[in-house]
């Protein structure tokens, strides 16, 4: 292997390492549909269900949980008090709805619904064999639980997730805070790091952070959108790229 021009990879979790996007989307839909039905009945308005393509991808995907709730509600013209992170799931606050979604999601993964993208896991092993640093950065407060359920927690040298973000006061995507913090933890310069993301908000964060490369994974037929918002390269799966190709991109 020739000299490497990069030092680290920082991977997003959902949709990149684990096939949990469908679980997240289903949990959001279950929570929001129940809320929207009750809200429509109370306000005597027509009910419009929560959609994966229209709502999850546009307003929720990649964002911290409460930010996702607020973003979607704003899209429907619904105003709720923010509340407090300690709000119980039955409360109609932004935090309460977010906690209700989290309860549903945790119940789903407890039933063994975590599937990994094996091509990503294989690629991570190749990186580690070459001495390349590897971290995971996710908006999810369930990141550790998901990695543990999948049996891959020990693959990552650092984990910057929703819990860490809350503790350190990090801003959510599209701000780059979770990725810059992961690089700081790995002791690598941002220009020597590659960010791997499948969400628009994630590639926007990568572009803002000035990283060496932002690699987009288009699993939702959204390659053009990822490219337009900051991805340097876009693939549909990690099997489509290798370390040598990335190194050549850097050297050029």
The per-residue pLDDT for 104 is: 95
Q: How far apart are CA 193 and CA 95, in angstroms?
A: 34
Q: How far apart are CA 188 and CA 192, in angstroms?
A: 7
Domains 8-20+114-251 and 22-110 share a fold: no
The per-residue pLDDT for 220 is: 83
Cβ distance 201 to 173 under 8 Å?
Answer: yes
Q: How confident is the model at residue 1 (pLDDT cuts 50, 70, 90)?
A: low
Provide the whole-model pTM.
Answer: 0.78
Mean confidence (pLDDT) of the chain: 95
Span 66-87, pLDDT tens digits: 999 999 999 999 999 999 999 9
Question: Which has the higher per-residue pLDDT, 187 or 140?
Answer: 187
Domain 8-20+114-251 in CATH: superfamily? HAD superfamily/HAD-like (3.40.50.1000)
The per-residue pLDDT for 2 is: 74
Mean pLDDT of 115-144: 96
- Is it true that the peptide bond before 174 is cis, omega within 30 degrees of 0? yes
Half-sphere exposure (Cβ direction) of 163: Cα atoms closer than 13 Å:
6
Give the SS3 label for residue 240.
helix
Span 2-60, pLDDT tens digits: 789 999 999 999 999 998 878 889 999 999 999 999 999 999 999 999 999 999 999 99
The per-residue pLDDT for 61 is: 87
The per-residue pLDDT for 86 is: 97
Residue 114 predicted with pLDDT over 90:
no
Q: How far apart are CA 68 and CA 201, in angstroms?
A: 11
Q: How far apart are CA 10 and CA 156, in angstroms?
A: 9
The per-residue pLDDT for 111 is: 75
Q: What strands, in cross-sheet order, belong to the sheet with 233-235?
A: 158-160, 133-137, 8-11, 193-197, 213-217, 233-235
* CATH pick for 22-110 out of 1.10.150, 2.130.10, 3.20.20, 1.10.10: 1.10.150
Q: Which residues have a catalytic role annotated?
A: 12, 14
Domain spans in the chain, listed from the N-terminal domain onward = 8-20+114-251, 22-110
**Other Cβ atoms closer than 10 A to 64:** 22
Parallel, antiparallel or unpaired: strands 233-235 and 213-217: parallel
Q: How far apart are CA 46 and CA 148, in angstroms?
A: 42
């Amino acid at each position: 292997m020739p000299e490497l021009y990069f030092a680290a990879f920082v991977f997003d979790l959902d949709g990149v390492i684990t096939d949990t996007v469908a679980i997240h989307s289903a949990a959001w839909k279950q929570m929001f549909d129940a809320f929207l039905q009750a809200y429509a009945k109370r306000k005597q308005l027509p009910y419009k269900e929560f959609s994966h393509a229209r709502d999850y991808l546009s307003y929720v995907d990649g964002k911290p949980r409460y930010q996702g709730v607020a973003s979607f509600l704003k899209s429907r013209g619904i105003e709720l008090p923010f509340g407090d992170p300690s709000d119980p799931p039955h409360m109609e606050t932004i935090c309460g709805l977010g906690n209700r979604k989290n309860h549903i999601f945790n119940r789903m993964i407890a039933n063994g619904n975590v599937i990994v993208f094996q091509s990503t896991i294989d690629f991570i092993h190749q990186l580690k064999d070459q001495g390349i640093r590897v971290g995971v950065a996710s908006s999810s407060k369930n990141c550790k639980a998901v990695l543990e359920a999948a049996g891959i927690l020990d693959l990552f040298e650092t984990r910057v997730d929703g819990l860490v973000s809350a503790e350190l006061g990090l801003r959510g995507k599209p701000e780059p805070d979770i990725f810059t913090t992961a690089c700081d933890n790995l002791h690598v310069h941002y220009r020597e790091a590659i960010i791997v993301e499948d969400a628009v908000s994630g590639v926007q964060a990568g572009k803002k952070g000035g990283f060496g490369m932002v690699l987009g994974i288009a699993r939702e037929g959204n390659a053009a959108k990822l490219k337009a918002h900051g991805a340097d390269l876009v693939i549909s799966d990690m099997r489509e790229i290798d370390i040598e190709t990335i190194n050549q991109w850097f050297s050029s």
